[in-house]
């Protein structure tokens, strides 16, 4: 999780937090009948976990930018992350569905989630970087 220069891999920390949240299922929703439960309610742990994981990455990015005195990075990330356009819905919801399906299948790829967090960070940088 850290390289010899003392840097911490923020994406792996975010993925670890996301995994801990979906593994422990902090939200228990029991006021819906099983047949009528909206999909967002079923994925509440995943949506919360994604938000927490992205918050970890965001905090590390802004901290690094402030340490380096890079106002360009602060400007790029000041409004949060940007996500690719998707034809079938909101990017974070699609990601939550993927994680939910992985969880229910018993397959969770920690490094894949870490890489997705990295790609979201880099997508934002490329998308918002002044030309």
Q: Give the separation between CA 47 and CA 44, rounded to whole angstroms.
A: 5
Q: pLDDT tens digit string along 69-90?
A: 888 888 899 899 999 998 988 9
What angle separates helix 44-68 from helix 10-24, to the nearest 10 degrees?
160
Q: Phi/psi zone of residue 69: left (φ > 0), alpha (ψ -120 to 50 degrees), beta?
A: left
Structural domain boundaries in the chain: 10-128
Instruction: Check residue 25 and give its pLDDT.
Output: 86
Q: pLDDT tens digit string along 13-47?
A: 999 999 999 999 888 776 666 666 777 777 889 99
Ramachandran angles phi, psi of 22, nearest 5°: -75, -25
């Amino acid at each position: 999780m850290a390289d010899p220069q003392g840097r911490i891999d923020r994406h792996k920390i975010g993925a670890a937090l996301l995994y801990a949240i979906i593994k422990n299922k902090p939200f228990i929703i029991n006021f819906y009948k099983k047949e009528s439960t909206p999909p967002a309610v079923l994925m509440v742990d995943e949506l919360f976990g994604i938000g927490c994981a992205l918050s970890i990455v965001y905090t590390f990015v802004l901290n690094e930018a402030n340490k380096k005195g890079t106002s360009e990075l602060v400007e790029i990330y000041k409004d949060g992350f940007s996500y690719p356009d998707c034809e079938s819905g909101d990017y974070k919801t699609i990601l939550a569905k993927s994680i939910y399906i992985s969880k229910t299948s018993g397959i969770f790829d920690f490094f894949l989630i870490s890489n997705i967090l990295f790609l979201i960070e880099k997508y934002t940088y490329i998308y918002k970087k002044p030309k």
